[in-house]
Amino acid sequence: MLTTEALLMLLVLGLYLYDSALLLYSNEALLVARGKQRWSAGFGSRHTTLRGRHVYIPNPLLPARALFRLSWQTGAAQAARPDLWAAQRAALACLTVPVCGLAVVVFLLLPLALFGGLGDLPLALAFLLIYLGVLAIVLVLWFKRRQLALTTGRFALLALDLLICPPFALNIMRRLALRQSSREDFVAAARRLLAPADWDAARLELLARLEDELAIEAEDSPRTAALHALRAELG
């Protein structure tokens, strides 16, 4: 039987993973910020779906990686400025330190306090540090709200959400990045931003997903012809 401490830790991790999980449509993928300038591609599971969409769970140990949702399009796509994604990830950089600090408390200090047999004081200190970390994130959101394109109402709702459920605060950079809208085609963005090896891996994954889409599309539909054209373009 699980102890109270184990149940508490599972609850914290469960809420965090629940909030970080994404459901992607069959033609959606993610640009994942890595380091200061590098990018990688993220795809939902081809075999795990929920409500007709593909499940994607980001690396739980890297909450400070921003995720931007795009789609590969068979119609006309809006061209993006070359610096669009760099500007958006730069705007989120102000949250890196408080998010990483909160992650250290949740993933390291809290388990140590729960399972280290150190008594009640370290546990109380761990919870205090968690709420201080959440408060630090909320303060950054307030002072950087214009930079992050947050209205006062949106900030208030977001702050309330984080204060009521602190594990959600670990996902704040992902949440804000996913709100950024752009109609740039994923293929165009990935081809431009990804390193050659990363783009080649993403291209192969795209080809596999195009085959999945073609398998369920009617042979004579306009979309089928567009998918064939995109597959030919990707080679």
The predicted-structure confidence for 191-232, as pLDDT tens digits, reads as follows: 999 999 999 999 999 999 888 887 777 777 777 787 778 888
Considering only CA atoms, which of 65, 81, 17, 31 is closest in space to residue 198? 31
pLDDT higher than 80, residue 2: no
Mean pLDDT across the chain: 89
Say what the pLDDT of residue 96 is.
95
The fraction of the chain above a pLDDT of 90, given in percent, is: 60
Q: What is d(CA 84, CA 31) in angstroms, rounded to the nearest whole number?
A: 12
**pLDDT class for 79, splitting at 50, 70, 90?**
low
How does residue 77 score in pLDDT terms, banded at 50, 70 and 90?
low
Contacts of 14 (CB under 8 A, 6+ apart): none
